[in-house]
Amino acid sequence: MTETVTRTRFAPSPTGMFHVGSARSALFNWALARQSADGRFVLRVEDTDAARNKPEWTEGIISALEWLGIHKEDPHFEGPYFQSDYAGKHRETAERLAEEGRAYYCDCTREMVRQRRDNPHLGYDGFCRDRGLEPGPGRALRFRVPDDGSTVVADQIRGRVEFDNATIEDFVVARADGSPLFALANVVDDVEMGITHVIRGEEHLSNTPKQQLLWRALGQDPPVWAHLPVIVNEKRQKLSKRRDKVALETYQDEGFLPEAMVNYLMLLGWAPGDDREIMPWSQMERLFRVSDVNSSSAFFDEQKLRAFNGEYIRALSVDEFVERCRPWLTPERAPWPEKNFDEEVFAAIAPLAQTRVAVLSEIVGNVDFLFLDEPVEDERSWAKAMKPEVAPAMLTAALERFADPDLAWEATSLKSALEEVGQAQGLKLGKAQAPVRVAVTGRTVGLPLFESLELLGREPVRERLRAALTKLAETDSGAGTDS
RNA sequence: GCCCCCAUCGUCUAGUGGCCUAGGACGCCGCCCUUUCAAGGCGGUAACGCCGGUUCGAAUCCGGUUGGGGGUACCA
């Protein structure tokens, strides 16, 4: 066994969703493993708890990792291994610990433990330590923690962390039914798999002295530990599944690009040391140092993530952008009738939308008016732009002007045409375009208007102007006005 | 309660005793550009929690304090 090769591990338990915090841990482990030629990133699915073990959840883990750029086929990737496959080894180790006197059987119930505690600050009091109980029903196996001294964890991020052994209780390593607990299984697996670096969330820091004691009891030198700061919400609490938006898949669905997500996540707690933020994976991978990771908790700032994402979207070529938008333009996701969608029209409008979307899903709201049978209904926009003093006149004039066959149906001439129409009404283009925009797109804000008109086509545009005029006439006559 | 971790702009961070009248990014606020909205350009707002030390000198070292957070299972 040579110990020179870096072997990191990522050990999620399958829960049906992939936490952004896990994503960051995976990324850090991946970067470190890839820094050395023979480095390995070991994926181990911690499926000890039979209740939460479904094959499709493991699939979910693998595809989430893939989305992040951690591919099974990469030579640095090893696994997946399943903790359940090592159950025999876990039991064997538990028995060995018992035989060697490093662990002992205990028949105390939870109730008994609690009642007997003379000091409520401490946990189990070691009541069964020297009772010499044989294994049997109702008897759990506890690890014998030294009474004196302390256990020092050398953490790459936090430095030296010392735990007084007196504050560590004799913890259970195997249940009464013989099944191993996380504390044991995790260590046995890490030992078995030759893990050299354990990089995981800070919530595991308090388990670490126990695990380190176990490593030593098994005759091994502990690995390099690194406990990442927790990722918190706006209230500075650890991001939780039920309260916060933590599932990687959610972000994926909204149209965050994996490269933006990866970049953002890498920078959560780590910085390359200069003023760079947006950078390719290859660079982050090269620059990453575990010891450079910050030790204080980090707020998951979706606003900044969005900014990163916008940055990455704008950096795409138009063709790439069109490709990437595709999943959001499908019948399942898009609101327009499938037959209305026109590939070429979309490709033509795409560059105008590219600077306006922060996440890919926003593409829909930008281009929908081109493919919907009618403009969207947005009351606020209507109320804002369709003032009775200007809108009817403006729309009527535009309708007429657009009917002129000598008017080239093309953005620049449409612009000057509308400019003229506006001037005749005493309106600058900013004011003049508003009613037309709302009549055609339904909204007061949107893509550049004249390109939009050009792509929609003369007749559809005129049709929408007429419809708007009709609607204006109706509301004007009194019925249902709300102003 | 007990154990452990943490502490620089609102947020993510740079900073490792003098280069700091504290830098960058996101956000926010102006201005420019402009057919709306973005994008882009320019400028601005804003921080070393507090108290003691150490030192010629402290955001940087030490102690305390306060405030956050994590862990306290026969869960992972």
**For strand B, is any atom closer than 7 Å to the CB of A46?**
yes
Instruction: Give residue A177's Cα distance to chain centre.
Output: 38
pLDDT of residue A233: 94
Q: Which nucleotide is nearest to A182 (CA to C1')?
A: B76
**Rounded Cα gap, residues A44 and A27, in angstroms:** 15
Instruction: Give residue A380's Cα distance to chain centre.
Output: 33
Please state the pTM of the whole predicted model.
Answer: 0.93
Q: A54 an active-site residue?
A: no
Diameter of chain A by CA atoms? 104
Lowest-confidence segment of A96-110, A279-293, A330-344 by average pLDDT: A96-110
Phi, psi (5° rounding) for residue A40? -130, 145
- The architecture of the domain spanning A379-479 is Orthogonal Bundle (1.10)
Per the omega criterion (within 30 degrees of 0), is the bond before A80 cis? yes
**Rounded Cα gap, residues A352 and A447, in angstroms:** 7
pLDDT of residue A338: 95
Q: Annotated binding site for ATP: which residue ranges of A? A: 241
The answer to whether A477 touches A470, Cβ cutoff 8 Å, is no
Catalytic site residue from A241, A245, A304, A387: A241
Question: Which residue type occupies A301?
Answer: D
Protein residue minimizing CA–C1' distance to B37: A445
Question: Which residue type occupies A302?
Answer: E
Average pLDDT for residues A437-454, to the nearest whole number? Answer: 97
pLDDT tens digits, one per residue of A352-409: 999 999 999 999 999 999 999 999 999 999 999 999 989 999 999 999 999 999 999 9
Taking CA A30 as the corner, what is the angle to CA A29 and CA A31, rounded to the nearest 5 degrees?
A: 95
Q: Annotated binding site for Zn(2+): which residue ranges of A? A: 106, 108, 128, 130
The answer to whether A381 touches A438, Cβ cutoff 8 Å, is yes
pLDDT of residue A117: 65
